[in-house]
Amino acid sequence: MPIFSRRMVFLCVFLFFITTTAISALADSTGFIDSSTKYSDNATSSMTSPSVPVSGHFVRGKDFDAQKRDQLIKGQTTKDNVLAIYGNPQDKGMYQGVNETWVYFYLEGQANVNAAAKSVSGTERIKKLVILFDQDDVVKNFVYSDSTDPIAINLATQNNIASNSF
């Protein structure tokens, strides 16, 4: 089961950018801020109305060196070794109530939001390392994935969002 569903991540990014677009448009019209403002997640906008696209860079999780997974040896590497290699995991859990799992997760992307077209586009990169420990706290197995995918969502066609006005 993924930590974050893609739709949830895209929706959060979309809502963030729509909010910053609306705030910026209001601030521009009142002269409160200038028309080229950087937001906390590196979202930038140079607009005079919410119909102009907004883009931004987003990051979730902590980046990790995937090459170091060569140091993970099944049946040999301990939890202490893993901590020394990667630091604290973003998530911990139990597999079948017996074996502990540690998850290292990193999401990075670029999103472009067009409020007028009710669309989000861009790219995302997701890196995930899941480590399964045995009952002696030694690496039993691990899985690594790394993918870069395009983002393309037309929110006007989404049933739960299409009726909302922006």
Per-residue pLDDT of the chain (166 residues; tens, 9 = 90+): 444 555 555 555 554 544 444 444 433 433 333 333 333 344 444 444 455 567 788 899 899 999 999 999 999 999 999 999 999 999 999 888 789 999 999 999 988 888 777 888 889 999 999 999 999 999 999 999 999 988 888 877 764 443 344 3
Range of the domain at 51: 6-161
Are the C-beta atoms of 89 and 67 separated by less than 8 Å?
Answer: no
User: Is 64 part of a structural domain of the chain?
Assistant: yes
User: Is 22 part of a structural domain of the chain?
Assistant: yes
* Residues facing 100 on adjacent strands: 94
* Domain count across the chain: 1
Are the C-beta atoms of 70 and 129 separated by less than 8 Å?
Answer: no
User: Is 1 part of a structural domain of the chain?
Assistant: no
User: Is 150 part of a structural domain of the chain?
Assistant: yes
User: Is 166 part of a structural domain of the chain?
Assistant: no
User: Is 95 part of a structural domain of the chain?
Assistant: yes
User: Is 62 part of a structural domain of the chain?
Assistant: yes
